[in-house]
Structure 1
Amino acid sequence: MSDRPSAREVKRHKWWGWGLDDITFRYDNKPAFAPLARNKIGVDLDSKQPVEPQLSDFEVPESRLPAPAREALVAVVGADNLLDDDEYRVVHSFGRSLPDLFRVRNGRFERLVDAIVYPASEDEVAAVLRLVLEHDMVLIPYGGGSSISGSVTPDVDEQRPILTMNLGRMREVLEIDDTAGLARVEAGAYGPDLEEQLNALGWTVGHFPDSFTYSTVGGWAATRSSGMQSDKYGDIEDIVRGLRMVHPAGTAVTKPIPGRDSGPSVHEVILGSEGRLGVITEVTVQVHRVAPVRQVIAYMYPDWEHGIRGMHAIARSTDVSPTFTRLSDGPETEFSLAMVKAPTSTKGKVAAKVQDGLFSYLRSKGWDTTNEMSISYVCFEGSKESVEQQKSIVKKIVKNAGGITLGAGPGAIYDQKKFDTPYLRDFLMNYQVFGDVCDTGATWSKINEVHAKAFEAFYAVQEEQGLPGFMFCHMSHSYHAGACLYFTFAFPYSTDEQALEQYYAAKSAVQQTFVDLGSTVSHHHAVGTEHQPWITEDIGEVGTRMVQGLFADTDPGRNLNPGKVVPS
């Protein structure tokens, strides 16, 4: 095992937004983006001055951590691995939900965590947990801080000292079982660190959520994460085969075995528990050999319904097994085209002319290339022969559904840029525009209805509020019975006092539509506090009481991330 990094060497977000300070979204090289923003949400980017917040403009409350507790914690993790300076406390007091970002950017620091501890081992995790109970503190486990559900945000009414536990120093791949295809991994490993260590030995875990660069394997398990490639590799509950979770009373261990028949699954109970049962310190994940060939092919359909027919046929095919399938509706396709950079090279200019010619041809065939046309991406992995065979089959499926094949060029661009989207939300907030997402799992039989009704609900609220708005959607994460629908919406907010009310009115309308139509409250963004208002409609009153009883029995003092998932 390599030397542990120090606490200040652990990767973290900038205090007011996503990722690093020196990475930002640019629109000056995307000629169609500013007109889209003006037409859809009434914001003139060229005439409005963006504003980035400065922490020095705000007063940061002092830490409430008592000296005796601090001394005891330092004795466990060392003075360098307990941090309580202002910026670190602000960073660790907010996830990356839109309400969190709005509050942090406006200096709404009603309740910050009081210190951050960075353990280097499972023994140190256990020792910290014992001190949490001894001093009656609150502990919030922290992965990469990418949560958009309020899962790492402290309760503003909590009066006890609050600790965040950051596992970023525990980031090693401990062991790989080549025969079983399993890897033991410390929970603090970020996605890129995990893949780098696995790839060096020819393996991959295949899990790539949007938050990949700023999320950890422990966070994936604690929030029941899904990745872009779940069609092939599965959601995190399929990938995590065993785990270790430290609780003040001891350590829960689930075996990395292919099947379980030991009564109700403790393993499944821990997955998605968001720190309310303890701290996940290690997971055993299934890994796969890196495929020799990987290719993403783009397709185009005349509209959403033709695209869904194609996606359904691919999901039900017995002859193909794509790594991922994705379909953008008309509005998202329009948005994607607005994100295309202006061509500067001869090759780029030729490609732009080819695209113009293609769109002209499609219009002559009766396609609406402005509002309805829907782009799709399908990823193939395997041997060269296997990939070519599957591409041929999917090409026929797409043609039978009324679509056309665009080829590998657009697919390669999508694959390169797939982790850049979160930076756009920070950019929009600099112009006083909210941009956020709602996702759900819907059956194939309901998917078009959920898609249509969610749009109706969003635009009805925006009309009632007197605000412009833009919403689009894509389908991803295909299963035998259905798929994920991932909605993105944006609108300018008026005043700081009303902003979150306007936001929650829009988000709540969409979320309520999901549960009213029998879909999930969230497909892969956890529950936390943001989705908690719908949890009883999602799992029922009896289910809610069962989960409440589990948390109350396991954590009677409400010391472990209280208030998340279900009301206490």
Structure 2
Amino acid sequence: MTTAATPGSAREVKRHKWWGWGLDDVTFRWDNKPAFAPFAYDKIGIDLPSLPPAVEPQLSDFEVPASILPGDVRARLVEVLGEDNVATDDEYRVVHSFGRSVRDLYRVRTGDFVRLVDAVVYPGTEEEVQRVLEIVLDADLVLIPYGGGSCISGSVTPDVDEKRPVVTLNLGRMRRVLSIDDTAGLAVVEAGVYGPDLEEQLNADGWTLGHFPDSFAYSTLGGWTATRSTGMQSDKYGDIADIVRGLHLVHPRGVLRIKGLPSQSTGPSLREIVVGSEGRLGVITQVTVQVHRLAPERQVIAYMFPDWEHGIRTMHAITRNTDIHTTFARLSDGDETAFSLSMLKEPTTLKSKVTATVQDKLFAYLASKGWDTERGMCIGYVCFEGSKEAVARQQGVVKKIVKANDGVSLGAGAGKIYDQKKFDTPYLRDFLLDYGVFGDVSETAAPWSRLNEVHAEVTAAVHRALDEIGRPGFVFCHMSHSYHSGACLYFTFAFPFTDDDRALAEYDTVKRTMQQAFIDHGATLSHHHAVGTEHQPWMEQDVTAVGVSILQDLFTTSDPGRNLNPGKIVTP
């Protein structure tokens, strides 16, 4: 088995740029996408060709408050971890004080540094995590566990009113696959491993976790576990709660070790209690996960439907068909389909030009049949994995279901483009912020019987909110993460803002409207983006006052001093 070496120090751990998503040299480009600028102008009134290039923010333009970590506490942390693994410099503290929600990104870009973390520590072993927690409790500090910093729910952001020193614990040095049980299909993995690094280690021995969230490149196994993450391929591999079979949690009373077993009947599930706890119970240091052999064949096929109703009926039929087990099945509504088509690059090779010509002829044919090819038709993607024979057989079954619902196949070429670009979307949000536009997402889950209602009512509610604040904007949606009883609906909205005191208030109006519409129509406040602080106001409506009080009792008893990421999920 191949394993990665633990990095020697904090400086070797991957991290976001301080003001946005991912790498400094990766950006979204619109000038090679002919339809994008017209789409942006039509939907949000932004005339991109007339605007000057965006200027990258500079941290030196802002005043960064000094760390309030006492010198003697810092010395104790250095004694445990070494000087290189205790960071108190400005950029490290800024990066670790914010997730990647729109609120956090707006605050960091405007220098809203009213409360930063005071130190970032990088333990290399579970024993070092224990010793850091002992120091935190002894000195009455606040400890916030940190994975990749990709969360959009406020889960890693310190409370602005917190007066005690705040320490962020980054597990990025703990990133090894420790063992793989070939017979059981279980891997023991350190919690700080990023998605690509984890897959690289597993793939080297012919395995995969199969967990690919949008944030895959900049999120970690521990973060996925702490926030109840879901990946794009959850139809086959399950949500993270299905994937996690055991774990280690460094708790104020010691280390909780949950065995990696297929199932247990030992009272309320401690594993389930820890999964989704967002650092309120301790630090997840090690996770036992179920892994799968890499499929010999993988193919994504794109399909087009005349409207949302036909597409949803197709996805429901695929999910319920016992002859197939797709890796994922996803459907975009008409507005998201129009957006996706606006993202296509200008054809430059003979092959891409031929493909574009064929697509134009197909769309013309569909328009002649009465399809609304501007914003009514809906694109879907279905992923098949397995042996060559199994993939072919399942594609045949899906083809019949698609045809029965008036859909047409766009083939593997369009599916391959989706598969290649699936992790690029977060860079678009940075681009929009550069030009004074909020672009954000919010997701929910509902039964099949209510999906159309939730889709229609949430969309209408967001448009009413945009009218209320007097801003042009758009909202679109896709269905993904199918289950026997229902699916996830993933909404995206965008609107321009004025860079003043009203900006976040207008954002809150739209965001609150969307979240309340979820609850009002029988859906959940979040399917996989966790609670943090962003979704906390709807917890009682979602899980009842009794549910909130049970969680409050759990956190208060486990952490009476409120030292572990206080204020997340529920408050006292």
Question: TM-score per shorter chain, which class?
Answer: over 0.9
5+ residue gaps, structure 1, are none
What's the counterpart of residue 314 of structure 1?
A: 318
Is this contact kept in 2: 1:145–1:215, CA < 8 A? yes
Alignment pair present for 1:394 and 2:398: yes
What's the counterpart of residue 118 of structure 2?
A: 114
What's the counterpart of residue 6 of structure 1?
A: 9
Paired with 1:140 and 1:241, the residues of 2 have a C-alpha distance of 24
Is this contact kept in 1: 2:6–2:173, CA < 8 A? no
5+ residue gaps, structure 2, are none
Alignment pair present for 1:406 and 2:410: yes
Q: How does 1:139-158 map to 2 (within 5 A)?
A: 139-158=143-162
Amino acid at match of 1:36: F
Amino acid at match of 1:340: L
What's the counterpart of residue 30 of structure 1?
A: 33
Number of corresponding residues: 568
What is the deviation of 1:219?
Answer: 0.3
* Deviation larger for 60-69 or 487-496: 487-496
What's the counterpart of residue 162 of structure 1?
A: 166
Is this contact kept in 2: 1:472–1:489, CA < 8 A? yes
- Give the TM-score normalised by the residue count of structure 2: 0.99
Of 493, 506, 510, the match for 1:489: 493
What's the counterpart of residue 545 of structure 1?
A: 549
Alignment pair present for 1:374 and 2:387: no
Q: How does 1:80-91 map to 2 (within 5 A)?
A: 80-91=84-95
Paired with 2:443 and 2:373, the residues of 1 have a C-alpha distance of 26
Alignment pair present for 1:303 and 2:285: no
Report percent identity of matched pairs: 68
DSSP-derived class of the 2:228 partner:
coil
What is the deviation of 1:48?
Answer: 2.1
Paired with 1:281 and 1:465, the residues of 2 have a C-alpha distance of 45
Paired with 1:459 and 1:495, the residues of 2 have a C-alpha distance of 22
DSSP-derived class of the 2:543 partner:
helix
DSSP-derived class of the 1:381 partner:
strand
Is this contact kept in 1: 2:6–2:174, CA < 8 A? no
Is this contact kept in 1: 2:229–2:239, CA < 8 A? yes
What is the deviation of 1:259?
Answer: 1.1
What's the counterpart of residue 436 of structure 1?
A: 440
What is the deviation of 1:4?
Answer: 3.1
Paired with 1:91 and 1:495, the residues of 2 have a C-alpha distance of 22
What's the counterpart of residue 356 of structure 1?
A: 360
What is the deviation of 1:3?
Answer: 4.4
Paired with 2:377 and 2:56, the residues of 1 have a C-alpha distance of 36
Q: How does 1:205-224 map to 2 (within 5 A)?
A: 205-224=209-228
Q: How does 1:92-241 map to 2 (within 5 A)?
A: 92-241=96-245
Paired with 1:295 and 1:187, the residues of 2 have a C-alpha distance of 30
Q: How does 1:56-71 map to 2 (within 5 A)?
A: 56-71=60-75
Paired with 1:239 and 1:374, the residues of 2 have a C-alpha distance of 31
What is the deviation of 1:115?
Answer: 0.4
What's the counterpart of residue 480 of structure 1?
A: 484
Is this contact kept in 1: 2:6–2:175, CA < 8 A? no
Alignment pair present for 1:335 and 2:339: yes
What is the deviation of 1:46?
Answer: 1.4
DSSP-derived class of the 2:48 partner:
coil
Paired with 2:410 and 2:354, the residues of 1 have a C-alpha distance of 15
Paired with 2:290 and 2:85, the residues of 1 have a C-alpha distance of 31
Of 32, 41, 46, the match for 2:44: 41
Paired with 1:140 and 1:555, the residues of 2 have a C-alpha distance of 13
DSSP-derived class of the 2:193 partner:
coil
- Give the TM-score normalised by the residue count of structure 1: 0.99
Paired with 2:536 and 2:42, the residues of 1 have a C-alpha distance of 34
What's the counterpart of residue 455 of structure 1?
A: 459
What is the deviation of 1:518?
Answer: 1.3
What's the counterpart of residue 505 of structure 2?
A: 501
What's the counterpart of residue 243 of structure 1?
A: 247
Is this contact kept in 2: 1:60–1:86, CA < 8 A? yes
DSSP-derived class of the 1:496 partner:
coil
Paired with 1:314 and 1:476, the residues of 2 have a C-alpha distance of 12
What is the deviation of 1:254?
Answer: 1.0
Is this contact kept in 2: 1:51–1:431, CA < 8 A? no
Is this contact kept in 1: 2:7–2:13, CA < 8 A? no
Paired with 2:74 and 2:80, the residues of 1 have a C-alpha distance of 10
Amino acid at match of 1:284: T
What is the deviation of 1:248?
Answer: 2.0
Paired with 1:556 and 1:368, the residues of 2 have a C-alpha distance of 59
What's the counterpart of residue 521 of structure 2?
A: 517
Paired with 2:466 and 2:427, the residues of 1 have a C-alpha distance of 24
When the two chains are superposed, the root-mean-square deviation of aligned CA atoms in Å is 0.7
Q: How does 1:552-563 map to 2 (within 5 A)?
A: 552-563=556-567
Alignment pair present for 1:17 and 2:30: no
Describe the superposition over 1:241-286 as per-residue Cα deviations: whole angstroms up to 9, x where unpaired: 0000001210011111111101111110000000000000000000
Amino acid at match of 2:569: V
Amino acid at match of 1:112: L
What's the counterpart of residue 271 of structure 1?
A: 275
